[in-house]
Structures are given as structure tokens and as C-alpha cells.
Structure 1
Amino acid sequence: MKHPTTRLRFAAEFNPSPPSSVRGSTSKFPLYPMEAIHEFGAPSEPALRPVDDLLSGYSYVEPTDVAYAKVTPCFENGKGLVGSELKGPAFATTELTVLRPRPGVSRDYLAWLLQSDTFRAPAISSMTGAGGLRRVAEPFVRDLEVPLPGLERQHAIVDYLDHETTEIDILIHELSALAERTSERFESELSARIPYPQRADGLTSGNGLAPIKRLGTITLGKMLDSSRNREPGETHRYLRAANVQPLGRIDLTDVKTMRFTNAEKEALDLRGGDVIIVEGGQGGYGRAAYLPEDIPDTGFQNSIVRVRPRPGVDGRFITYSLILLRVRGYIKSVAATTSMPHFTAEKVAVTPVPLLALSEQTEIADRLDRSGSEARATETEIARAINLAKERRAALITAAVTGQIDVTAKHRPAAEQLEDDIKELP
């Protein structure tokens, strides 16, 4: 049964102001920065600040409210806040849009609505701004038509989604734990095969170690600049941080394009034998991958550092050494931390790698290739299963809030059907 609709501004008040009881308080209040906010779950522990420091420059939120992150990529990543997770009045980054349900609207139904494609797809299309600072257009969202059944049906939808998504989330957690165990087994073999000292968080060259700059040439990729993307030159594919996955896996399912001059195409090509390393990014910096073959007509962005090994050096050995150093914390210890960690080209250049004869490098790399191939294949299968689970979860939310499924009828549990479908993945 299709649900009736209304404009979102008739369902919720946008960005309510702090009441006088808060404005005149002498207490300290929680402050949630964006990094403390997750996917409509419990936020991380907040800081406590005097109210006078918070009344300007921050969003106000109460346990009655819900909020969504309005800035890219946080919105696309599903970041949001449900007031039930708060212990009382609080403040948060202004990159949240706070909604206070009007009478006859369930807070928890509103939270599920904000996670549905009914809201998310048009909100993404409304984004304005350039580069990495695009934001959901609030005037558009205020007048967005959204499904709003009666309060009793809202409560039924909330109960249904609370139960079904919890089961799917448990399955996703189990799959993630399996991926983590797969990584740990491979990491143990890395430690056994690559002759680093046991502690690898404060290494320097010498004692059988050589900096990477002695083993290959190091190149940083091209800066992505939308204004320069209109300059003369051919549109050309490029790799970015998202294409380099854990355990040295390259993901080419989503490769972007930008303009490269002929000189840039020549200087920033990707050949078999190269090592590519993630330069920046909160979760991925320092990831490394080996290219077994050329990637034609493809360059790389400045979120990637390329190492092209010199003769007598096996790029696979450099890659596995970097993966081990990341596991042991060395890369984290040297990454610049001004605003976001970066494993810069300069840091890559001085990173120490065991200095071995080519035959020894190749023998170690061959052994690790075999076990690494198995680990990567397992992780790929798990990643596909997790992606399917997330897609089904999102589809279930949308179907429930729009009335495409009757949540009061008896259905086979979504998680059970999902497990069967995962087993049938090719």
C-alpha cells in the first residue's frame, strides 16, 4: 500500500534553536564533531564545552531530534544521528542538518526515512558546491515530498526495520570479522617471510635495510582540479586512493577520468612491475599494491605515489614490505598529521626495505603471491557479500518507508533470504 506524502518541512522543523534553559545554563554540554558521528548509530564520546563557546558556530540537537550529515562525502557515506543515542541536549558540527519531528511524526520513523533512497537519491542530486565541499541544498530538501503514513503505521515500520536491519547488521559484522581473520593470517606470514627487525615502528636505514629511493624512482600523481580539467588535453583514466584496497588488491570497477597533457600521460603512466601507494586519506594512507601488467591509457592522481623499481629490484617485494610496515604501525608513526595523515612521496622515499639479492626477493615474493592470492580471493568474495548485504539493507528500508511491503504481514526474515543469495553468488 503506497503511503501518503507530504513536504518534509511539514513533517519536521529544521535546525531548531537552543531554548532559553540551555542558553542561560552554566553547565558544559557535549560537542560532537563530524568524526564522532556514524551511520545513525551511537556516536563516539563527545568533548564537553561551556555553553557560551557553543551557541554560535554549532548545531543544537536534543534527544527528540534526528540529523543527517549534509556535506560530501559524509552524506554519501550515510552519516547521521538519532537523538535516542544522546543523554540530553547537545551540540554538533554545523555540517549536520537537524530535524525535530512535528506532532504526529515519529522520530525513529524520520530517522529511517533519512536513510532511504526516497530521501537520499534526490538529496544527492540537489547538492551544490565544487570539488569535495558539495552540500545538500536545504531549500530543496525542505520541499521534498516524502512518504508519511499514520503514526500507528510509522511505529510498525520502525519495529519491522529495527528487527530486520539488526539481523542484516549481525551478518555484515560476521562477514567483516571473517575478512579481518583472513588478513591477520596473511599478515602473520608476512612477518615470518620478510626479514625486518621485530619492532618496525622506528626503523632507519642501515643494518641490512635500504631506503626505497635507492630501489626505485618515486613519482607523485596529478592534482585533481575541476577548473584545470577544462585545459587542453585528452580525457584519460586515472587511479585514486579508492582503487587501492587492503592486501595489495587493485579495484578497477570505478575508475574516474580527467584531462592529461601528452607530457603528463607519458610521465604518469602505469606499467607492469610498478608499485602504487596511497598517499593520503584517513583510512587508506600507506596501502600499497603491485601492478602485474600495464594499465593502458591510465594515469594516477596525487593521492597515489608510484614507485618504479630499478633493475635488480622486485616490485612485489617492495609491496609486501610496505604492507607489513603498515600492519606494524611504522607508516602510521611517520605519516604527517597536520589535518589528515599523509604518507608523502618524501616519506615513501626514506622508508626502509630489507636489502636482499634479487633471487631472495623473488623467492619470498613468489611464496607470498600464493598465499596472498588466496587471501585476496577470499576478501573479494567477502566484499561482494558485504556489498550485497548493504544493498539489500538499503532496499529494505526504502521499501518499508514507501509502503512497497506490508510490514504487518508475516515475511521470511530478510537475513535468511540474504544468506541464501550470498551462497549463490558466482
Structure 2
Amino acid sequence: MDTSAPLFSEAWIGAVPKDWSVEPLGRWFRERKTTVSDADFAPLSVTMQGIVPQLDNVAKTDNNANRKLVLEGDFAINSRSDRKGSAGVSGLDGSVSVITTVLQPRGLNPRFTHHLLRSRPFQEEFYRWGHGIVDDLWSTKWSDMKSIKIPVPPEPQQRAIADYLDRETAQIDAFIAKNEELVTLLTERRASSVVELIGKYQTIPLKRLVSPARPLTYGILQCGEPVENGVPYIGPSDLPGEGISPTLDSLRRTAPEIAAAYSRSVLKGGDIVVSIGPAFGRVGLLCDDLKGANLTQDTVRVAIEPDKIVAQYLVWVLSSRVANDHWDRQILGATFRRLNLGTLGDTPIPCPPLSEQHRIAADITAMVSEMDDAIRVARRSIELGRERRAALISAAVTGKIDMAAAHD
């Protein structure tokens, strides 16, 4: 590849080698608009990983005859891709959703096409040519898409780039997969270690560990529109989980007259709050500056008896499989998966002596910190791998990598 005399082209492409051309996408593709039934052509899904047999979680329609034909070697791209890269060259004959743009290549190497049109810079350019009100309804039509300029190297270089990217991305993908597996293993080990550290002790129902003067209770049924300088309140979305307290400035506020009707659910520092709605099981141990705040109907205040249970220990129990497995059994088969005061109050809490609770809580906190550090490292490796993969593809398909040197 001769890069000694670069040619400046479209902004998303940059400079390309002198033996490359920069031409409208419509020069190299023809739109395929044939309508078929998935009874005759198997349904396919257009994903970030490419074109695959239709995924189980894809919404099905009654009109399965109104689909677009895709043949092996065609390039399909979700017209509502919104920068996600849902596109690819199909290795299968089949049918796709009508919102998909199906392109029949005319002379480009299919594997080079796959990398080029899935590259991050092209996806951004594809999005830029779209129209819509919001991202979810943003769409790029073929009439606009065909005018996008693309870099076109000579055919031997297309093959060389495709071979290089197939090889290099396979190695990066393997690296990413190993770290994803590591995250899964560490996450599972973290959860099981919490249970092991809690141990097996005689249990006491949660409601018997709560102050009789401040029993388990949920909060405000209708909080109304947010009110500046009103009474702060905590809902499920305000709870990060595992005892982390919401911050005062992050909370919405309700009118004082609304909150006044719910004096029973006023909070204090040191209270535990548990979500019971659809996102049940999030637990927060409140900091002192949340004194006087309130709750929504999907959260419950747990005001403990300090001489019976250690707050941080209880947080770990309620955040663990010890509690969650019990809750899952209690609501098994329920149409709406949510807790209620009775189910929460009956949660069996292992209760060793207070001194042991303090030790267990400290051990869990230390273990979780160590495991979370390891998980963060693995996730960062995944992030860097994905960034490296995207940058490599972008550089290769726009002529920024000398293939001769890359193969040495």
C-alpha cells in the first residue's frame, strides 16, 4: 500500500492512500427491497455482532409476510441503528424486519464491507445523515445513505485488510471473552463468599429486630410533582444498593402538606431502607443528613433495635442470597414480582451474638472491596479491548495502517 501521497477526502475518512478511491456508497451497492414471508425465508436478527438467526427476545409481529429478503453476501443495517453498530454482511439467506436497509454489494469484498460499514466512524456518519425527532425514532433512509462517501481500496488490498482484521479482532475478541468470563466468575464468587461469611445461625424474623416504636412501614402513596425546598423522599431508584446511602441533593422533594400526612414513615440517620417494588431488594443505610426525609410506597423503613442487630451486618444479609432466595420462594408464581410488608417482615435473619455480627460485617466489607477491585480491573480490560478493536478497524478500513508492514 502506497501511502506516500495521501488524498484528503470526507471528514469521517480523513486522508487515504493515493491508490484508493473515495466514492458514494450508492456506486457500490444496490438496495434490495423484495418483500417476503418468514414462512419461506427464516427470520434473522440484525445485531451488534452481525446477522444471526432471529433472537428469542425479539418482538414478533402477526404480519410475518411483511419482511425484507436477505441473501448470503448482502449487507443489512438497522435504519434505526442510533450509533449501536447493528449491521453486518449476512452469511445466511433469510428475512429481516422492514426497518432494516438491505444492500446488495456490487464489487466490494464482503468481508471488507463487513468491517467498513460496521466501523465506528461510518456508524457516526450514517447517523449524521439520518432524520427524526428523538434517537429512538431517528432513521437513515437509503435515499440519503447512498450519498455517503466511502473509502475503496483496490480489491487485493480489500482482501488484505479483511484478513488482517479477521485475525486481529479474533485475538482481541478472545481477550475480551476471557475477561468477561473472569467478571462472571468473580461476581459469582463474591456472592457466594458473602453467604459463606454470614454462616448458619439461628434465625429471627426481621420484624422482631425492628423497634416497636417505629415498625416496618412504607411511605407516601402519591408524591405529586417535585417541589423546590420541599420534603425529600426516597424511592427504589434512589437506592444504589448494598447499604450505600442516597445523597440529600440527589433526592426529589414533595410538598410539605403531602409529607405531613405520612409522619409514620419519617426517616432518621441509621435507618435501613429496602425497596419492595418491581426492583425489590435494594438496600440503603441512611446517613445522618437524611433525617426528616420520607419514603415512597415502593420502599420500606427498617428501624432496627441496636441491641439485637448490627446495622451493617443486617445490610449484608438483606443484600445477599440469604434474603433474596427467601423472597424468590415467597413470590414464586406471582403475576407481579414485588415484596410486601408481610413477606419482608418474615424474612429469616441469621442472628449470631452482636460481637460476631460486627466481625462478620467487617470481614464481608473487606472481602467485597478486594473482589470489587479485581472486577473493576477485568471490566477495564474489557473496555480497553473494545476501544482497541474499534480503533484498529477504523484505522484499517480508512487506510491508516500499512498492510505490508502489518504482515511483516
Q: TM class by shorter-chain length?
A: 0.5 to 0.7
Contact 2:317–2:323 under 8 Å retained in 1: no
Correspondence for 1:141: 145
Please say if 1:402 is aligned against 2:398. yes
CA change 1:311–1:332 in 2 (3 A) is: closer
SS at match of 1:133: helix
Select 2:303's aligned residue among 301, 304, 310.
310
- What letter corresponds to residue 68 of structure 2 in structure 1? S
Following TM superposition, by how much is the alpha carbon of 1:288 offset from its aligned partner in structure 2, in angstroms?
A: 4.3
Correspondence for 2:349: 355
Please say if 1:101 is aligned against 2:104. yes
Correspondence for 1:321: 318
Following TM superposition, by how much is the alpha carbon of 1:184 offset from its aligned partner in structure 2, in angstroms?
A: 2.3
Q: Structure 2: how far apart are the matches of 1:294 and 1:129?
A: 44
Name stretches of at least 5 consecutive residues in structure 1 with no aligned partner. 198-206, 413-426
Following TM superposition, by how much is the alpha carbon of 1:377 offset from its aligned partner in structure 2, in angstroms?
A: 0.8
SS at match of 2:43: strand
Question: CA-to-partner distance for each residue in 1:108-129, whole Å, 9 max, x for gaps?
Answer: 2222123212212233454633
Correspondence for 1:165: 169
Correspondence for 2:186: 182
Bigger Rg over Cα? 2
Q: TM-score, normalised by structure 1?
A: 0.63
CA change 1:152–1:249 in 2 (3 A) is: farther
Contact 2:72–2:90 under 8 Å retained in 1: yes
Correspondence for 1:154: 158
Q: Structure 2: how far apart are the matches of 1:66 and 1:242?
A: 43
Correspondence for 2:77: 68
Select 1:390's aligned residue among 377, 386, 389.
386
| CA root-mean-square deviation | 5.3
Q: Structure 2: how far apart are the matches of 1:62 and 1:348?
A: 57
Q: Structure 2: how far apart are the matches of 1:113 and 1:333?
A: 52
CA change 1:179–1:9 in 2 (3 A) is: same
Please say if 1:80 is aligned against 2:87. yes
Q: TM-score, normalised by structure 2?
A: 0.65
Correspondence for 1:420: none
Contact 2:318–2:324 under 8 Å retained in 1: no
Please say if 1:374 is aligned against 2:374. no
CA change 1:260–1:371 in 2 (3 A) is: closer
Following TM superposition, by how much is the alpha carbon of 1:173 offset from its aligned partner in structure 2, in angstroms?
A: 0.9
Please say if 1:8 is aligned against 2:8. no
Q: Structure 1: how far apart are the matches of 2:268 and 2:312?
A: 13
Please say if 1:54 is aligned against 2:78. no
- What letter corresponds to residue 30 of structure 1 in structure 2? A
Question: CA-to-partner distance for each residue in 1:369-399, whole Å, 9 max, x for gaps?
Answer: 1111111111111111111111111111111
CA change 1:69–1:332 in 2 (3 A) is: farther
Range with greater deviation from structure 2 (393-402 or 356-365): 356-365
- What letter corresponds to residue 314 of structure 2 in structure 1? F
Contact 2:327–2:343 under 8 Å retained in 1: no
Question: CA-to-partner distance for each residue in 1:383-420, whole Å, 9 max, x for gaps?
Answer: 111111111111111111111112332368xxxxxxxx
Question: CA-to-partner distance for each residue in 1:170-213, whole Å, 9 max, x for gaps?
Answer: 0011111222221222222233244689xxxxxxxxx844489x
Q: Structure 2: how far apart are the matches of 1:240 and 1:115?
A: 38
Q: Structure 2: how far apart are the matches of 1:270 and 1:391?
A: 45
Question: CA-to-partner distance for each residue in 1:114-170, whole Å, 9 max, x for gaps?
Answer: 32122122334546333x733333254343222222332222221111100000000
Contact 1:286–1:322 under 8 Å retained in 2: no
Contact 1:325–1:331 under 8 Å retained in 2: no
Contact 1:217–1:308 under 8 Å retained in 2: yes
Select 1:129's aligned residue among 130, 133, 136.
133
Q: Structure 2: how far apart are the matches of 1:143 and 1:160?
A: 28
Contact 2:50–2:87 under 8 Å retained in 1: yes
Between the aligned residues of both structures, percent identity stands at: 20
Q: Structure 2: how far apart are the matches of 1:347 and 1:127?
A: 49
Please say if 1:32 is aligned against 2:31. no
Q: Structure 2: how far apart are the matches of 1:407 and 1:249?
A: 53
Q: Structure 1: how far apart are the matches of 2:238 and 2:74?
A: 34
Q: Structure 1: how far apart are the matches of 2:324 and 2:83?
A: 28
Q: Structure 1: how far apart are the matches of 2:345 and 2:30?
A: 53
Contact 2:236–2:282 under 8 Å retained in 1: no
Question: CA-to-partner distance for each residue in 1:253-298, whole Å, 9 max, x for gaps?
Answer: xxxx99966659x99x998876686977xxxx668465686899xx
CA change 1:384–1:41 in 2 (3 A) is: farther
